[in-house]
Amino acid sequence: MPTVGGAAATVPVTSGRRPVILTRVSGELTGALLVAGTTSDAGKSALVAGLCRWLARRGVRVAPFKAQNMSNNSVVTADGGEIGRAQAMQAQACGLQPRVAFNPVLLKPSGERTSQVVVLGQPDGQVSARSYRDRTAALREVVTATLARLREEFDVVVCEGAGSPAEINLRGTDLANMGLAQAADLPVVVVGDIDRGGVLAHLFGTVAVLDPADQARITGFVINKFRGDPALLTPGLDRLRALTGRPTFGVLPWAERLWLDAEDSLSAVADGLIGRPAPPHGSAWLRVAVVRLPRISNSTDAEALACEPGVAVRYVTEPSRLLDADVVVVPGSKATVSDLAWLRASGLADAVVAHAAAGKPVLGICGGYQMLGRRIADPLGVEAPGGADVTGLGLLDLEVEFAADKYLARPSGTEPRSGYQIHHGRVVRSGDPFLLADEGSDAGVVLGTHWHGLLEDDAFRRTLLERLAVQAGRTGFRVAPDTSFAAERTAQLDLLGDLVETHLDTKAIEHVISHGPRVGLPVVSCGLAGSNG
């Protein structure tokens, strides 16, 4: 780490197992680390959260950072902006409230080739993959300045990459991987998911395709999601070190309990069980079907339901999956009009209407709530290019019109007690009773709200589940009296911290954070000629 000025000092951090010493230099930017991945969903978000939890438990002032995130799972921060949900989860691991500085650039996909750009928490236009390249120079200044301020405030900033640094076709405009590492003088650890297969080749290849300057920042590797005896990996890890000159800092085991706050859309299967449901308290299960929209947003809303014993929550993508469902949830969407068209084309729209006609409950959240109404108008083309005025499913007496500015809100007052709103659509007419004090719709078996995260409120969720079970005829279902969603999330963060402390060479990682990459790391050749920058 280069010395800017001042005398060197050490900051002791107490640990349950051994003292941790992180080197600091007065007047200098403090320690930081970038966690990159061999692929999307390799475990970057979880490893960053685990590192943050491990450091925070030792009294280190630590913060997360993701320069550029692409996700429709987002939250509203205390400072009134919007960031990726993974960074909110990582902030909690640090004992911090989410803030826009932890994720200065958020891309929210609204089509196959278009995304909304959110800069420092606020919408800043639509881009295509090609046009976004023209904005990266200005965004790089935002990203590096934001990170620099965090490093002045905190002892350590643990940064998360995006996708993979091996996407060398994007290197010239990269904001989150090696581009950030070079701009901010960061050491890099690369994590790979062994459950996908080929992890040693992925790790070797990630280093080998980089140019020498980028390779010099790669300090070592972490293996994620290993099942079995780690000793079986030893020959491969020894060979990887011989080939690259870099150590593997540890092997994280597969942990069945880790499933909350999944960041990457690839990690959510199209049709499958969410979470690890515990047996019911009563004699019956409550079966919940969550429609897996193509542009689903804040899919994590359903996770609070999946924490409840006796509640089996599944994603569904075709009508037959609703036949044995007790409750149907239509979640949020980043492309409400086009996802509504998909709902009709897939036959799911008719299945949802038939479910409600049979007297079984339907819950709509945000974009899903809007789809349940009579009409959706998007005259400005906010989400539907060229504008749109379409008929909804007609299950609620509701009309929605999209506005150019995005509505962002967190709870104020006592109801709802948890949650946040993120939407362009405004209710212009509603003939149904409110679901909450002054928001949402309650038409009996069909309910809707714009509030994300509302189901994380334990009291509200229990009351709602009792009602839904009665409406669905599941009289044997009993709501558990003591399920705490917040406690479950905290337990998973603690587990991530435990995994880091138990299975990684934390002393080596401390040295990397304090001193950066080792000088003279070998350059790995893959036979490619020329520059990839």
Instruction: Give me the active site residues, please.
Output: 366, 452
The runs of H, that is alpha helices, within 245-400 are 303-306, 336-345, 348-357, 367-371
| Structure-block tokens of residue 247 | 């150590």
For the chain, the residue count is: 533
At a CB cut-off of 8 Å and minimum separation 6, what does 231 contact? none
**Sheet (strand 31-37) strand order:** 62-65, 156-160, 31-37, 188-193, 218-226, 248-253
CB 213 within 8 A of CB 531: no
Contacts of 169 (CB under 8 A, 6+ apart): none
Start-to-end CA distance of the chain, whole Å, equals 24
Would you call 255 helix, strand, or coil by DSSP? coil
Q: Which residues pair with 43 in a beta bridge?
A: none
CA distances (Å), origin 60, targets 7, 51, 261, 325:
20, 11, 24, 47
Task: State the amino acid at position 254 in one-letter form.
Answer: W
β-pairing verdict for 272-273 and 286-291: unpaired
Comparing CA positions, the residue from 147, 140, 104, 110 lying closest to residue 122 is: 104
DSSP 8-state class, residue 169: G
Distances in Å between the alpha carbon of 366 and those of 74, 381, 454, 506? Answer: 13, 18, 11, 42
- Angle between helix axes 485-503 and 44-56 (nearest 10 degrees) is 90
> How large is the C-alpha radius of gyration of the chain?
24
The burial of 283, by beta-carbon neighbours within 10 Å (0-12 exposed, 13-18 middle, 19 or more buried), is given as exposed
Q: Which residue, 34, 74, 70, 68, is CA-closest to 143?
A: 68
| Dihedral class, residue 150 (left if φ above 0, else alpha if ψ from -120 to 50, else beta) | alpha
